[in-house]
Chains A and B, each alone.
Chain A
């Protein structure tokens, strides 16, 4: 089969690439290994941040549908349950279904294969009950099944924080979130959501062991010193039946490696990535890249990078369609992408892309995440005149749905949308639309003149157990303190599956009260610190899960003089199992880098060969067509 543009990966980046290439008049095939399009959007029940153009304020699950519909409308050929297992000389993409193998000769290939979750090394890391946080999110939000009841979350980046919150929404308990760094990596508003539910976030802490014989029965948590080393007598145990790992993502680049693209280790982009230019084109002519496989970022930036890749691939084929000004659209997408990256949270991606030689011309924001703007209300607060919105969004996040939600023009963002929103209380009618619209659940209604002694607080609420008017609730602050008892005064429904729950509190708590706990939710965040056996068992753990290779084996070989991943692999088989190194490579390279005192960028990852997913040989035997030699460039064989 021949095709003008083949897009590999049906997530936000791939779908947008396919849409744009087709819109420009190219014939496009989109390949997705799952049965449905959407990629990771299909499990993302939270509202997206960003700008309205990139569906801010819409839940990920709904964005998946919007984009999949657009893919269909643009006449893109969609191959689901189909895996691209190799890219070969002459722009040939090898694709497999459950039964068949076939080849597509593509004029342009756009790789948007996404990312995979980083592994974390600790004792018993292979025990059932230790899960990838993204894996748990898929299981609970797509299939409606929880793989445990009581979770410890490792990692306070956005994934760790969001999945913790969603676990509680699904009815599970979250014991605590541990984060090895000294600050929260994700958005403060996501952390505040958890703290209001009583879940502590333990900074400079990590899980050092999973406890249990057949499956997880507990976790050993330890404090880390400023150099990241475990403080021995700080260890304590907690009871849990699941440990979720959310310690970042790595770009999934095996196809790009195979295709011979120039690869670079860029820590700001999450690991090994294919070099690409501002058109998303790699060093191999005709191969483009978009989304997390071109550097770990947000879904919103993946969509724009995908659109840019799609247009550029189509334009390079001299495609044009009447009524669609592709050049103008391209300019617009580039500008939107720059805006999303202009704030402090975009700094990493910006630095990473700059190492490719890509220029950013926008005026940048201050690099401090938290705005020092203390005065968020533009005029004196007329709080006695009924409820007024209070915006507690203090970080420079690219996000602006609150501005559009206000019909009275009371909310504005000055300059770049990465800046924090400001409120004009004189214009605020206390209607609560912004409370419903804010993706971060960071806007509240406060009525300080509710009664003689009480203030009324309205908070956004997205839990299944809804309190009734008159119910007593334990009122919490965004710092996680339990303040006082409150009484529910009213509950407002909305079409966006979010309610506003109002409750009365003594007036002195009006500036603090931002959440509440119900008995059904009060188990999260409660735990007893158990003493742990100081002697402990074996301090060793498995680095390679597929082939059962211990860390001690790897370290002994490195000490004996084997200094590359490929050498270790040949002797120990680490990385040769069915996961093809996804669960061990990063850990082993980290040990190599530490032991040899060299940077990660100087180490070579292992080779990626086709098929990139385990495929039964009978599937290849089904291939009948003989590929035509299109005279593709002769590349060095690996």
Chain B
């Protein structure tokens, strides 16, 4: 959910861009984190855990906890909370440890 009005802050956003989550077209703002764009689109499950396939999502926002590791543009274990969104990005849930695409 995007904050509509705020008593203290004004949010400067980049241009509106389209990206893909699990192949589905979504919109976000260039330069914001992939995690922010996904959460603004109502996506909460970012990956399935390594051994037990339990759903995982955003947690620490500063690239420390690895809870939000995703498959982004073919690169597994990419931290969605500190990866800036770019036009046309291919964002996918990571399953397990992730595999490098050849």
| Given A129-B44, A214-B45, A497-B8: A143 touches B60 (CB 8 Å cut-off) | no
Task: Find out whether the CB atom of B5 lies under 8 angstroms from the CB atom of A145.
Answer: no
Quick one: which of A129, A170, A583 contacts B57, CB cutoff 8 A? A129
List the A side residues contacting B7 at CB < 8 Å: 169, 462-464, 497
Whether, in the assembled complex, A610 has its beta carbon less than 8 Å from a beta carbon of chain B, the answer is no
Interface size class on chain B is 35 or more
Cβ–Cβ contact B58 & A147, under 8 A: yes
A128 to B35 CA separation, bound complex (whole angstroms): 12
A117-B60 in contact given A548-B49, A548-B50 (Cβ < 8 Å)? yes
Take A134-B61, A139-B35, A147-B39 as given contacts and tell me if A170 and B3 are in contact as well, using a CB distance cutoff of 8 Å.
Answer: yes
**B19-74 contacts to A (CB < 8 Å):** 32-33, 35-36, 39-40, 44-46, 49-52, 54-67, 69
Q: In the bound complex, how far is the Cα of B40 from the Cα of A148, in angstroms?
A: 9
Are A613 and B63 closer than 8 Å at their CB atoms?
yes
State in angstroms the CA–CA spacing of A128 and B81 once bound together.
14
- A329 an interface residue at 8 Å Cβ cutoff? no
B15 contacts the other chain (CB 8 A): no
> Taking the complex as formed, is A334 at the interface, i.e. its CB lies under 8 A from any CB of chain B?
no
Is A45 in contact with chain B by the CB < 8 A criterion? Answer: yes
Q: Which residue of B lies closest to A143 (CB)?
A: B36
Please judge, given known A-B contacts A127-B55, A139-B39, A547-B51, whether A116 and B3 are in contact too, CB under 8 Å: no
Q: Are B61 and A545 in contact (CB under 8 A)?
A: no
Q: Which residue of A lies closest to B13 (CB)?
A: A144
- Closest Cβ of chain B to A481, distance in Å, is 25
B-chain residues with CB within 8 Å of residue A141 when the two chains form the complex: 9
Residue in A135, A149, A170, A545 with the greatest tally of chain B CB atoms within 10 Å: A135
B61 touches A138 (CB 8 A): yes
Set of chain A residues within 8 Å of B44, measured between Cβ atoms:
128-129, 147, 214-215
Distance (whole angstroms) from the CB of A114 to the closest CB of chain B: 9
Q: Cβ of B65 and Cβ of A545 under 8 Å apart?
A: yes
Inter-chain contacts of A171 with B (CB < 8 A): 1, 3-6
| B55 with A128: CB separation less than 8 A | yes
B40 near A145 with CB under 8 A, answer yes
Task: Indicate which residue in A136, A462, A463, A548 contacts B61 across the interface (CB closer than 8 Å).
Answer: A136
Number of A residues near B (Cβ < 8 Å) is: 49
Q: A138-B61, A546-B66, A578-B66 are in contact. Are A145 and B1 (CB under 8 A)?
A: yes
Contact B6 A579 (CB under 8 A): no
Could you say which of A45, A129, A145 has the most chain B C-beta atoms within 10 Å of its C-beta?
A: A145
Q: Nearest chain A CB to B51's CB is how many angstroms away?
A: 4
Residue of A34, A132, A145, A169 touching B65 (CB-CB under 8 A): A132
**In the complex, how many angstroms separate the beta carbon of B7 from the nearest chain A beta carbon?**
5
The interface residues of chain B lying within 8 Å CB-to-CB of A169 are 6-8
Q: CA–CA, A545 to B55, complex, Å?
A: 11
Is B65 a contact of A614 with CB atoms below 8 Å?
Answer: no
Residue pair B6, A139 in contact (C-beta under 8 Å): no
Would you give the shortest CB distance from A8 to chain B, in whole angstroms?
A: 15
Q: What residues on A are CB-neighbors of B64 within 8 Å? A: 116, 579, 582
The CA of A360 and the CA of B45, in the complex, are separated in Å by 50
Task: Give complex CA distance A533, B61 in Å.
Answer: 33
Instruction: Determine the residue in chain B with the shortest Cβ distance to A39.
Output: B62
With both chains docked as a complex, state the minimum distance between the C-beta of A152 and any C-beta of chain B, in angstroms: 16
CA of A61 to CA of B12, assembled, Å: 14
Give the shortest distance, in Å, between A346 (CB) and chain B (any CB). Answer: 27
Contacting pair B11 A143 (CB below 8 A): yes
Task: Collect the chain B residues with CB atoms within 8 Å of residue A111's CB.
Answer: none
The answer on a CB contact under 8 Å between A577 and B39 is no
Are A45 and B1 closer than 8 Å at their CB atoms? no
Partner of B2, one of A117, A132, A145, A214: A145
The residue in chain A whose Cβ has the minimal distance to the Cβ of B82 is A34
Contact A135 B59 (CB under 8 A): yes
Residues of B within 8 A of A140 (CB): 3
* Cα–Cα distance between A117 and B13 once the two chains are bound (Å): 28
Taking the complex as formed, is A130 at the interface, i.e. its CB lies under 8 A from any CB of chain B? yes
Q: Report the separation of the CA atoms of residues A65 and B49 in the bound assembly, to the nearest whole angstrom.
A: 39
A128 touches B6 (CB 8 A): no
Contact A146 B3 (CB under 8 A): yes
Q: Give the complex CA separation of A71 and B86 in angstroms.
A: 30
Hey, which chain B residues are within 8 Å of A135, CB to CB? 58-62, 81
A-side contacts of B35, CB under 8 Å: 139
Pick the residue among A139, A214, A464, A614 that contacts B55 (CB under 8 A).
Answer: A214
Q: Is A276 an interface residue when CB atoms closer than 8 A count as contact?
A: no
Interface string of A438-474 (1 = CB under 8 A from B): 0000000000000000000000001110000000000
Which residue on B lies nearest to A149, using beta carbons?
A: B1
Which residues on A are within 8 Å of B, measured CB to CB? 33-34, 45, 59, 61, 116-117, 126-132, 134-136, 138-141, 143-149, 169-171, 214-215, 462-464, 497, 542, 545-548, 577-579, 582-583, 613-614
6 A-B pairs with CB atoms under 8 Å apart are: A61-B9, A127-B54, A136-B61, A145-B1, A145-B39, A583-B67
Kindly list the 3 A-B residue pairs having the minimum CB-CB distance in the complex, ordered from nearest: A128-B57, A578-B66, A144-B11
